[in-house]
Amino acid sequence: MTNFTERAAARENPYLLLTPGPLTTSSGVREAMLRDWCTWDRDYNQLVETIRNKLVRLATASFEDYTAVLMQGSGTFCVEAVLSSAVPSDGKLLVLTNGAYGDRMVQIARVHGIATEVIDFGELAPVSAAPVAAMLEKDPAITHVAVVHSETTTGMLNPIGGIGEVAERFGKTFIVDAMSSFGGIPMDVKELRIDYLISSANKCIQGVPGFGFVIAKTDELRKCKGQARTLSLDLYDQWETMEERNGKWRYTSPTHVVHAFHQALAELEEEGGIAKRHERYLRNQQILEDGMVRLGYRPLLPKAFQSPFITSFHYPDGGAFSFAAFYERLKQAGFVIYPGKISQADTFRIGNIGEVYPEDVERLLSAVEKSRF
Ligand SMILES: *Cc1c(COP(=O)(O)O)cnc(C)c1O
């Protein structure tokens, strides 16, 4: 395998993106975008069908009961499509939050006038099942439960298995924002009792931004006919068109991005599938966290809650740290990191997903050491 410097020179990328997406992609993924494609012909529609089929098979071994819908826009558009299409006008949503992406689901629900309850676990605690069971006991009007799997705000990997069990026990529809985890960690939507799983092209599948996707339990999705609150984000209509017209999108689709995504799926298979990609991400994260600790940086989360995708670190003690200066120095050295996003502490974040390998993380650590204050 070539090292990042050679790969970067080959594709003239000035730096490695150590961010939660858009992320550093392979040259193969980017080359897939180097020609123009029409949307109406059979080749393109078959490519879309191949992608939908592969996504369902990546999400579950019980693929007969699930289907995939692709939707134009960034990941948030898909979250909005699900919430505004799946919760009926007389339904009620329970959102579990411990960060900005959980809060965003609440915001979306409010914009659409969806009756909503919230359990806020705070930024530093994982979600847990007991308060959810208590809430569902107390408020039988709740019909849907929504949670973020990997909360990118902090790097927290929420234990969603227990939440799915409770949702199923009470007969509620279970919605999971798995934006920054799907493709990077083994999971099965059937085992996790997930009715709607949401993710996007530019996270762990390692495509480029431009569309998101929803893996839905087909029986649940069928219930959404005619209840969407918007036209363009109508999840049922989008699905019905794709299903009946064999891979046709309702409105202009991001053709280049779709081709890049098809290539990204092929490269995921070449890598050995999700289990192998997960191993690489785990190694990246471990090398990163251990190396940063050695250099005196403290991670925000205990290891037990830490995802293999992105890690938050406290600013070093002493008060002299300038994130802006640190960021600039690392960028000069060929690495783009990410600011913090939480209110309770001064932090920055370093992602390790994308076309990023352990030797790249080692090089980052040398650059961090040289950027010391
Ligand atoms: C990236 C991300 C999203 C979607 O963000 P967009 O900017 O709309 O793509 C949603 N939830 C989580 C947890 C994410 O990491």
Residue 370, number of CB atoms within 10 A of its CB: 10
Q: Which atom of ligand 1 is nearest to the CA of 21?
A: 1
Please tell me the pTM assigned to this model.
0.96
> pLDDT band at residue 284, thresholds of 50, 70 and 90?
very high
Give pLDDT tens digits for 52-61: 999 999 999 9
Report the Cα 302 to chain-centroid distance in Å: 21
d(CA 58, CA 72): 21
> pLDDT band at residue 1, thresholds of 50, 70 and 90?
very low
| Omega cis (within 30) before 22 | yes
Amino acid found at 207? G
What's the CA angle centered on 201, arms 197 and 207, to 5 degrees?
Answer: 145
Which residue's CA lies nearest to atom 9 of ligand 1? Answer: 75
**How is residue 137 written in tokens?**
């006991």
CB of 181 closer than 8 Å to CB of 187? yes
d(CA 156, CA 193): 21
Which residue's CA lies nearest to atom 12 of ligand 1? Answer: 179
Give pLDDT tens digits for 85-111: 999 999 999 999 999 999 999 999 999
Q: Is a pLDDT exceeding 50 seen at residue 115?
A: yes
C-alpha 76 – ligand 1 centre gap (Å): 6
Q: Which atom of ligand 1 is nearest to the CA of 148?
A: 13
Expressed in angstroms, the distance from the first to the final Cα of the chain is: 34
Residues with Cβ < 8 Å from 285, sequence gap 6 or more? Answer: 306, 307, 308, 309, 311, 352
Give pLDDT tens digits for 249-259: 999 999 999 99
CB of 340 closer than 8 Å to CB of 313? no
Give pLDDT tens digits for 14-32: 899 999 889 999 999 999 9
Ligand 1 first shell, C-beta below 6 A: 20-21, 74-76, 101, 148, 152, 177, 179-180, 200
Amino acid found at 129? A
CB of 72 closer than 8 Å to CB of 213? no
